[in-house]
Amino acid sequence: MELSDEPVDYFDPEERLKIEADFACTCALCKVALAAGEGYFIPLMADYSMFNKAVYGIFHKMFKPFEAPNGLYACHPCGRKWLEPREDGFPWAVLVICIPLMIYVCNVIYFAEDEATRGQTLDEILEDLKERPDLTDERRNAAPFLHCYQLLPVLAPEEFIPPPPILDVHPTPSTPVIYKRGSTTTHYRILEHNGGSVPSDTPSVHVPLYGQYEGGEIMLWRIPMRSHGLMVGYAQRLFFEDVYSSKVFDVFSRFLKMMLHNRRLPTGYRMPGAPSVYDVFSPPLTSSEASAKTFSQPMERDASSGSSSGSGSNSTSSTVEGEPSGITWGALPSLVSALKRWL
């Protein structure tokens, strides 16, 4: 699949400079150092569909998608091929929140005895873990994995011709972590972001898209400068099919079900303070190229698809709040893009 050489002009120049500074001009994925202006900028919450899932899943409260905190930073090869969803296809992979954090969050919501705790955003739950990591054994087990994500393929191996790619990660500090749950022990290696200098003889890490666990350690990427909730919304859009890692896909599906449907909140509950979708993604009223934003077509399938499980659950709606009858959900971003071209 051929992709354009330039990223979508989603962020204004000022916001791009802020994203570069957040990531210290280092690719979030392969860790290559970039010169100013060389990066590729990927919006994590890019369209109406992702906003709606974030509100009803209570993922985060970051509702300014054109500002720097919504941007992921990468080199062009990682951005164009590995990470960014395109209108005409899919990226090679997606960064999925790691299993230890998903299990921790599910337990917090499941055992919560009050509505205030069950109604916390994902970001608030994990910020509380960060502030009080030693309160319980469960917290001590999960805290080392804050802001950690696993790189997983979006497409099945047979869809790659020639053979699936291998990601070369430049020398970067890494942290080995052992995760114990019951009688199971899992060995992880966390690639730290901009964690300081490394010895000159430190080798690069070669991470195949498939079969990456043959060395016995599961590789994770720590991205502390971005919201957990935004990263989950980004992953939900792409990680909707079990093509390689059944265990992660199963946990992710259960995690989304807990976030979207099983919080035991009052019928019709909506995140307090959440704006209207039209206040977040309002069509521009000017033909200025500088103010125009391009929206990606939403991918309707995802791991959490399905109807609400009944009264008391925080259900996801298939329509935008206030959406006029006769306009389909999936058609809205294309309609906005068409209007911008003609205004």
Which sequence spans correspond to the domains of the chain?
A: 13-342
Q: Where are the beta strands (DSSP E) in the chain?
A: 40-43, 71-74, 93-97, 148-153, 166-169, 174-181, 184-191, 205-208, 218-222
Nearest to 227 by CA among 29, 65, 5: 65
Amino acid sitting at position 21 = A
Alpha-carbon gap, residue 241 to 109, rounded angstroms: 25
In contact, 41 and 73? CB cutoff 8 Å: yes
Q: What are phi and psi of 40, to 5 degrees?
A: -120, 130
pLDDT score recorded for residue 258 = 95
- β-sheet bridge partners, residue 97: 149
pLDDT score recorded for residue 256 = 95
Alpha-carbon gap, residue 32 to 75, rounded angstroms: 7
Nearest to 227 by CA among 70, 93, 31: 70
pLDDT tens string 113-133:
999 999 999 999 999 999 999
- β-sheet bridge partners, residue 42: 72
The structure tokens listed for 204 are 């690069």
Nearest to 155 by CA among 203, 76, 92: 92
pLDDT tens string 135-155:
999 999 999 999 999 999 888
Alpha-carbon gap, residue 66 to 234, rounded angstroms: 15
pLDDT tens string 20-77:
999 999 999 999 999 998 999 999 998 888 999 899 899 999 999 999 999 999 999 9
Alpha-carbon gap, residue 226 to 241, rounded angstroms: 25
Alpha-carbon gap, residue 155 to 91, rounded angstroms: 8
Chain mean pLDDT for the chain: 80
Q: What is the mean pLDDT of residues 261-265?
A: 94
Q: What is the mean pLDDT of residues 311-316?
A: 44
Q: What are phi and psi of 229, to 5 degrees?
A: -65, -40
Alpha-carbon gap, residue 310 to 190, rounded angstroms: 39
Question: Does 313 score more than 70 pLDDT?
Answer: no
